[in-house]
Amino acid sequence: MPKMSEQPPAGRQRSLILCLLAVLIAMVSATTPAAAAEGRPYTNPIKSQKGADPWLEYYNGNYYLVTTSFTGVLTMRKSPTLAGLSTAASLQVFSDTTPTRNTNIWAPELHFFDGHWYLYYSAAQSGVACCDSQRTHVLESAGTDPMGPYTYKNILTDASLTPGPAGAQGWLIDASVLKHDDKLYLLGSGKINGSTQSLVIAPMSNPYTLSGPFTIISSPTLSWETQGGPVNEGPEPLYHDGRTFLTFSASNCQTADYKLGQLELTGSDPRLASSWTKKQTPVFQRDDTAGVYAPGHNGFFSSPDGTENWIVYHANNAANGGCGNGRTTRAQKFTWNADGTPNFGTPVALGTTLPGPSGETATTPTAYTLVNRNSGKCLDVEGGNTADGTNVFQWSCNGGANQKWRVEDLGNDTNRLVNVATGKVVDTAGCATADGTDIAQWSWLNNNCQKFRLVYTATGDYVRIVNENSGKVADVANCGTANGADVRLWTWLNNNCQQWRLVPTA
């Protein structure tokens, strides 16, 4: 019989096994990284004004969202969280007065190559009925700031593209860029030799120059691609585990049956239709029980920590929503099937609160302070007084609610600036337009004297605050730096006294 202080052989064996298991668990715990925390809660839509054809990038700590404008202006939103995009300021990053391309901007996309951002979009000729004159164009950023400033670079079209609905050669919309074997290709939707509206591709010698003709890689032939008319448009590349997929929008956008299809590059030359294999069923489509209709024209982005894949898209909340500004921007996470293909699931109903992308750490901002570039002081409602006509001036930034502003998108490229403390808006006295007109707060009257364009001016989130009625900007009188220096309208002089930095705040 063993001594009382000794364990029987079986007991010693069990103890040894338990010790080994404990060591293994400790080793795994030490070497396995902790799962990233879920992102900040968000609710679709993430953009409810001008939300069609969304493109979203996560870069250097912020999301950047750009969508169709239907005008000659491009605006962009920026937020450190996905949830924050819904209340983020819409900043004007580009406008065009050139008559051949200054209206009906559609489907902008943002791509980074060789130290610059390139904004691809289609636009129409002024005075020409929609939508025959849509052509594809590209802008180039001055540096690595996704908001620019941007300059016009080139038109991307050629004679291989036959007319649009009723006009000249070159009709092309919904441009994107495919990367394959270290080469760039421009994707889009157009017509060749009288074809139906199809997916087309052309090689590029650099991000703003075509180097060959367009060819068709997919035409609408299946029944789900022809609802309301045969359409293939909105091609969007998706790369995963060495494979290249291409989602696209199918059927007419006027119908509730607008949806996403999918191609996979299974050949070596992406310019050949035979190199692409089309999935015979849709991959993302309407869900009547969720109240989601015509989901389509998507983009893709990754979570801040790079572990999750997300889709951004537009949809209607009514079956007769059509192709206009009623479409809103939505986003949701997607996964991958066992065979390596994407699984987008079903579109989520509006009002459903979901965890945001993993790795988000910032607080979701809901308002801004507006800091003058020259003085470093904040736009302030004097004393937080709630009366109409209370003066708006600059004051040392102190975090008070009377220095916080909601920048609310009005859906027409303008915004109203709503003071958090008083609920009233920035207004120009008497709707006057002269230099020196006072800026004060007033109850919302929905007139142009109370509407402003926030025009991105310089890296660092500096904007000029342009009054829609007068075309003049918010200016600190005489470039003063003292507390109480008045803020007024003045002709744009491009000086620091007329530039304001948007600082997000909760």
pLDDT in tens, 284-331: 999 999 999 999 999 999 999 999 999 999 999 999 999 999 999 999
Domain match, 181 and 83 both? yes
For residues 336 and 445, state if they share a domain: no
CATH number for the domain spanning 429: value is: 2.80.10.50
Asked whether residue 276 carries a pLDDT value surpassing 80, the answer given is: yes
**Per-residue pLDDT tens digits for 428-448:** 999 999 999 999 999 999 999
Question: Mean pLDDT across the stretch 188-202?
Answer: 95
One domain for residues 416 and 333: no
In a 3-state reduction of DSSP, which class is residue 391?
strand
| Whole-number pLDDT of residue 31 | 38
Structure tokens at 384: 């937080």
Q: Are strands 462-467 and 500-505 parallel, antiparallel or unpaired?
A: antiparallel
Residue 102 lies in a domain: yes
> DSSP secondary-structure letter at 190?
E
Q: Could you give the strand order of the β-sheet that contains 135-141, starting from the edge strand earlier in sequence? A: 103-113, 116-124, 135-141, 150-155
Cα 88-462-63 angle, rounded to 5 deg: 35
**Are residues 308 and 393 located together in one domain of the fold?**
no
Dist CA 281 CA 93 (whole Å): 39
Domain, as residue range, for 445? 367-505
Q: What does the angle CA 298 – CA 301 – CA 305 come to, to the nearest 5 degrees?
A: 160
479 preceded by a cis bond (ω within 30 of 0): no
pLDDT of 34 strictly over 70: no
Question: Which residue out of 53, 174, 308, 427 is catalytically annotated?
Answer: 53
Do 74 and 133 reside in the same domain of the chain? Answer: yes
Strands 462-467 and 328-336, bridge-based pairing:
unpaired
Helix (H) or strand (E) holding 27: helix 9-31
Cα(156)–Cα(244) distance, rounded to whole angstroms?
Answer: 24
In this predicted model, what pLDDT tens digit does every residue of 7-28 receive, in sequence order? 444 444 444 444 444 443 444 3
359-396 pLDDT, tens digit per residue, is 999 999 999 999 999 999 999 999 999 999 999 999 99
Terminal alpha carbon distance of the chain: 73
Q: Residue 103's beta-bridge partner residues?
A: 124
Q: What is the pTM of this model?
A: 0.92
Is residue 432 located within the same domain as residue 392?
yes
User: For residue 281, is it within any domain?
Assistant: yes
Q: Phi and psi for 22 in degrees, rounded to 5? A: -65, -40
308 lies in the same domain as 388: no
Query: Taking the CA of residue 444 as centre, how many other CA atoms within 13 Å lie in the half-sphere pointing to its CB?
Result: 13
Final residue belonging to a domain, choices 295, 328, 356? 356
**Domain stop point among 333, 356, 379:** 356
Residue 408 appears among annotated catalytic residues: no
Residues 235, 270: one domain?
Answer: yes
- Asked if residue 21 is part of any domain, the answer here is no
User: Which secondary-structure segment (H or E) carries 439?
Assistant: strand 439-442
Instruction: Please check whether residue 446 lies inside any domain of the structure.
Output: yes
Q: Which of 96, 140, 225, 233 is catalytic?
A: 233
Q: Which residue, 477, 495, 488, is CA-closest to 426?
A: 488
**96 is a catalytic site residue:** no
Q: How many domains does the chain have?
A: 2
Could you tell me if 419 and 322 lie in one domain? no
In terms of Cβ atoms closer than 10 Å to its own Cβ (0-12, 13-18, 19+), residue 162 is middle
Task: Tell me, yes or no, whether 29 lies in a domain.
Answer: no
User: What mean pLDDT do residues 387-414 have?
Assistant: 97
- 213 and 152 in one domain? yes
162 contacts: CB under 8 Å, gap ≥ 6: 169, 171, 190, 191, 192, 193, 194, 195
**Do 382 and 478 belong to one domain?**
yes
Tell me how far apart the alpha carbons of residues 296 and 341 are, in angstroms, rounded to a whole number: 18
CATH code of the domain in which 238 resides: 2.115.10.20
Decide which of 356, 377, 403 is a domain's last residue.
356
Beta sheet of 232-240, edge-to-edge order: 232-240, 243-250, 259-265, 276-278
Q: Determine if the peptide bond prior to 19 is cis (ω within 30°).
A: no
Share of the chain above pLDDT 70, in %: 92
- Give me the DSSP letters along 321-358: -TTSTT-EEEEEEEEE-TTS-EE---PPPTT-EEEE-T
Q: Specify if 10 maps to a domain.
A: no
Percent of the chain with pLDDT over 90: 86
Residue 327 domain-assigned?
yes
Same domain for 191 and 299, yes or no, is yes
Strands 276-278 and 259-265: antiparallel
64-88: average pLDDT: 97
Does residue 494 form part of some domain?
Answer: yes
The rounded distance, in Å, linking the Cα atoms of 301 and 317 is 23
- Closest alpha carbon to 416 in 432, 428, 430, 398: 428
Q: What is the pLDDT of residue 440?
A: 98
Confidence bin at 3 (pLDDT 50/70/90): very low
